[in-house]
Structures are given as C-alpha cells and as structure tokens.
Amino acid sequence: MSQDHRTGLFFARRCAYLGAMTEPLHIVGGGMAGSEAAWQAANAGIPVILHEMRPKVETFAHRTGDLAEMVCSNSFRSDDSEQNAVGLLHWEMRAAGGLIMSTADRHRLPAGGALAVDRDPFAADVTAQLKAHPNVMVSYDEITELPETGHWIFATGPLTSPALAEAISAVTGTGALAFFDAIAPIVYAESIDMSKAWLQSRYDKGETEEERTAYINCPMTKDEHEAFIDALLAADKAEFHEGETAGYFDGCLPIEVMAERGRETLRHGPMKPVGLTNPHDPKNKPYAVVQLRRDNKLGTLYNIVGFQTKMKYGAQTDVFRMIPGLQEAKFARLGGIHRNTFLNSPTLLDGEMRLRAQPNIRFAGQVTGVEGYVESAAMGLLAGRLAAAEIMGHTVPAVPQTTAMGALVTHITGGAEAKTFQPMNVNFGLFPPLDGVRGGRRGRKDRYKGYTDRAKEDWQGWLAAQEMATA
C-alpha cells in the first residue's frame, strides 16, 4: 500500500470521527491563496483536502511541487502597517494567525522597508506545516471540473489549467479574462561588479545596517540610459500565439512595454535615482539606477527589481549586460512571460466569494482579480474562514470595508466596474473616505495613519465577532 493511500485512509477515518457536521472542504490549488485557505479552515476544525496538480502536471513558471512556491518575485512589498495599504494587509493577516505571514517572517531577508523572503525554504516550510496538520490532506491530482456537490474553494491562480478554465467558462457562461504577466531575471551575486555598483536601500530605509544595505544599485549616466533604452526598444521580443492578446496588468508591465510608453518612463519607475548616493562618485547624482534585491538568505542570488520582460533570452543577456556593474553578469534565471487568467468577479461572485451560478464553490486568490502574493493569500484567508463557518452552519458578519481585507473583497465582488475590471493591488483608494481629514499630498501622512488606525480597530472587531459566531 502506498504512503498516499495510507494517508488517505487515515484522513477518511478522521473525517468520519469528526462527525457529519464537519464534512470536508476541498481546496483546488496549493499556491498562496489555497495554502492560506487550507490553514484557516483546518484550524477551525474542518477537515481539508488540498488538491495540487504539481508536480504531476507542470506549469511554465513553477520549478517544484512545493506549496506556496513564489514565482515572479520574492517580495511581499512594504511592511509598513501605518502608511502603506499592503503593510496594513500584512498586519491584518498576522492578527488572524495567517500561515503565509508567519512563515514569511521566519524566512525574512533584508529588504529595507519591504518584506522579502528566501523563497525556497519559505515554500518548503509552508508545505511541511500543512502536511503535518492533522486536519489537512494534500492530494496531488488535477481537478478539471466544477463539482456540483460538496464544499469547494478554487484557488488555482493565474496559471489555471486549460481544462479547468474551460470548465469554469462552461459554468459561468463567459470566458475567463486574460492578461500577460512577466517574470524578472535573477543574477548570481558573485558576477556583479561592486567596483561600479554599491549596497544601499532607497533613503537608507531599515532599522539595521543589513536592512539599510539590502539592495545592490547600478548607476547610469544619461548617455548610458539612452543607449540602454535604444537597445531595449530594438531587442527581439517573445511572440504571442494566435488568438492571444497582450492585455497587461499595469502593476507588472514588462520593461520594454514601459519604455514604449516614453523614454523617461523607466527613470520615473523602477530605475528612479532618488534616495540613493553613489559612494564611488558621491558628487555626481546618477541619471538612472537599476536596483537588485536579495533573492535568497545566502545572498548569492539577486533579482533585478521591476525588470519583468518578454525579451527573448539572447536579447536579455545582451541588453542587461549594458547595465554598469552587470557587464559580466551570470543569470540563474532569465525573464519570461506567461498567460494569466482571472474571472470577471463583480458579475460572477457574491459577497462571500461564492460563484453565483453554483454557490457550493468559492474562488480565492489571483483568479478572482486581485494582484500580488499578499492580496492572493489574503483572499484565501477570507475564503477559508467563510467556508469553515458555512460548513459549521454559522453566520458571520460581513468584513468591514474599512479594513484592507474588506476593501479588497468589496472591490472584487461588486465595488469595481465590471466592464473595465482588471487585477487590482490593495490601495487606499479602495477605502471609504475619512471625515475631517485633510486631503491632497500635504494631508497624506495623517490620512493614511487614519485609514490604518480605523482598519486595525475594525479588523480586530470583526475577528472577535467571527469567533463569537463560530463558538
């Protein structure tokens, strides 16, 4: 008898022992959202079967069969819970006992004011914790249909398999929307010329010296910048297959697409030179700066920040080696491009993330139209808690829109305009306005602090109300 079969028999007996009130929750997809949903439901006492098709069925972007594998980046972005909406989302997930955030904290890498993680140990740790949980069984199989019975969460992410995407389209009566996402390249640290580059976080952010020197910076003069832009625009690009269209998400544009929008676009985006001083030439301010962020705990790998690309591999090495400090760069991974899918959630999902046409099914994560690892995990956290409450027969209050969680779920389930719906990061523009707070740039600091103070109080109140409803 195989180990998987023995595990399945044990889990079936456990489900029977827990009783009829705790029928299992099936979760499809073991990424950020699926892993977090499984953790939340399992901790509520619900037996969870987590279906992950990898490594039996591979994707373009994934390298392993681990759960919560990070593909595009190793960053969860800002960890500032007072002045940044994604930092507030970190805080809310920690307050809810989130698996993704607690594991990220254990595998944290220096990244200034951001939360970056050592991606491989992070994924291995998430996998080990879920497999060790007595209420979780991980099943490595591909789900290709939307079951009509049982409790299900589909958190298949942007790389939903073609068969499942077709099944979703058949049930919803509309095709899943599509855009394209690009992956940034990773460089071996030893191949970076530190006589031209230097270590510094923008504005010297961070409480420790390690945090304040978390990025490698490569400076460019105006002539070097102009030559780089010329090469970028002229480089060979990956072609799309017939029937595909390049509907990019604005928060993850390939650098060549940004350059096509204007020669100065990159210099005001990922290559902005502000908050940095070149110790090799402190009197001259760089015209542009390319930053690299540590990608693993050893500090042997760095990814080029914001340099998602659809250039062909040969063109990538030629163009990126034009960057001062990267003339001899060796790449652990070059950039790539892949097709992402997401639902028109405002028309398809109700306020509890259930499919209107088939309410035994919830969706969570990037497939719902949120963008980013943190936002995906957050929607998994909500879906897991809501599904667990429903299985136990409890009614929980709506998540306050004043919280980061509530702002996101409200946006995707009805707050957004369905005709123009596209993936969205969490941001303060999704929050209800504050009374008596100054507007504009001058009032921003106080306004953001007001948003986060209100959100923290309301989120703690919701957590307490949910615990009372499910007690």
The verdict on whether residue 31 carries a ligand-binding annotation is yes
- The percentage of the chain sitting over the pLDDT mark of 90, rounded to a whole number, equals 67
Which of 285, 307, 338 terminates a domain? The answer is 338
Predicted pLDDT at 159: 74
Clarify whether residues 235 and 276 are in a common domain: yes
Q: Mean pLDDT across the chain, nearest whole number? A: 89
**298: pLDDT confidence band, cut at 50, 70 and 90?**
confident
Q: Which residue has the tokens 């950020």?
A: 32
Predicted pLDDT at 5: 47
Clarify whether residues 323 and 380 are in a common domain: no
131 token code pair: 């497999």
455 token code pair: 């959100």
425 token code pair: 């990061």
Clarify whether residues 48 and 89 are in a common domain: yes
- Coil, helix or strand for 251? helix
Predicted pLDDT at 13: 53
The verdict on whether residue 393 carries a ligand-binding annotation is no
**333: pLDDT confidence band, cut at 50, 70 and 90?**
confident
Q: Is it the case that residue 466 has pLDDT exceeding 60?
A: yes
Predicted pLDDT at 452: 97
Q: Is it the case that residue 19 has pLDDT exceeding 70?
A: no
The verdict on whether residue 33 carries a ligand-binding annotation is yes
For the residues 430-453, what does the mean pLDDT come to? 87
Clarify whether residues 334 and 428 are in a common domain: no
Clarify whether residues 328 and 433 are in a common domain: no
Q: Residue 126: CB partners within 8 Å, gap ≥ 6?
A: 35, 66, 67, 68, 99, 100, 103
**56: pLDDT confidence band, cut at 50, 70 and 90?**
confident
For the residues 45-52, what does the mean pLDDT come to? 96
Q: Is it the case that residue 8 has pLDDT exceeding 70?
A: no
The residue that leads in pLDDT, 169 or 338, is 169
Predicted pLDDT at 119: 92
**168: pLDDT confidence band, cut at 50, 70 and 90?**
confident
Nearest CA to 136 among 384, 391, 469? 384
Are the C-beta atoms of 122 and 104 separated by less than 8 Å? Answer: yes
The verdict on whether residue 314 carries a ligand-binding annotation is no
Which of 304, 338, 372 terminates a domain? The answer is 338
How far apart (Å, rounded) are the C-alpha atoms in residues 343 and 407? Answer: 18
For the residues 202-212, what does the mean pLDDT come to? 92
For the residues 293-319, what does the mean pLDDT come to? 90
**267: pLDDT confidence band, cut at 50, 70 and 90?**
very high
pLDDT digits (tens, 9 = 90+) for 377-417: 999 999 999 999 999 999 999 999 999 999 999 999 988 88
**62: pLDDT confidence band, cut at 50, 70 and 90?**
low
Lowest-confidence segment of 101-110, 162-171, 273-282 by average pLDDT:
162-171
Q: Is it the case that residue 20 has pLDDT exceeding 70?
A: no
The verdict on whether residue 45 carries a ligand-binding annotation is no
Residue 334 domain boundaries: 182-338
Q: Is it the case that residue 60 has pLDDT exceeding 70?
A: no
Predicted pLDDT at 246: 58
Instruction: Describe the strand order of the beta sheet including 358-363 as a list of residue ranges.
Output: 136-139, 48-51, 25-28, 151-154, 358-363, 354-355
Clarify whether residues 158 and 272 are in a common domain: no
Predicted pLDDT at 108: 96
Clarify whether residues 148 and 277 are in a common domain: no
Predicted pLDDT at 443: 83
**183: pLDDT confidence band, cut at 50, 70 and 90?**
confident
Q: How many domains does the chain have?
A: 2
Count the Cβ atoms, other than its own, within 10 Å of residue 169: 14
Count the Cβ atoms, other than its own, within 10 Å of residue 398: 11
Predicted pLDDT at 240: 63
Clarify whether residues 105 and 144 are in a common domain: yes
Q: Is it the case that residue 160 has pLDDT exceeding 90?
A: no
Clarify whether residues 58 and 152 are in a common domain: yes
| Residues shown for the chain | 471
Question: CATH code at 225?
Answer: 2.40.30.260
Clarify whether residues 212 and 150 are in a common domain: no
Query: What's the pTM value of the predicted model, to 2 decimals?
Result: 0.80
Alpha helices for 235-327 (secondary structure H): 255-260, 313-320
**437: pLDDT confidence band, cut at 50, 70 and 90?**
confident
144 burial type by CB count under 10 A (0-12 exposed, 13-18 middle, 19+ buried): middle
For the residues 55-81, what does the mean pLDDT come to? 81
Are the C-beta atoms of 185 and 304 separated by less than 8 Å? Answer: yes
Clarify whether residues 365 and 415 are in a common domain: yes
354 token code pair: 């259930």
Which of 315, 338, 361 terminates a domain? The answer is 338
Clarify whether residues 195 and 73 are in a common domain: no
The verdict on whether residue 34 carries a ligand-binding annotation is yes
Question: CATH code at 164?
Answer: 3.50.50.60
For the residues 203-225, what does the mean pLDDT come to? 94
Count the Cβ atoms, other than its own, within 10 Å of residue 323: 25
**250: pLDDT confidence band, cut at 50, 70 and 90?**
low
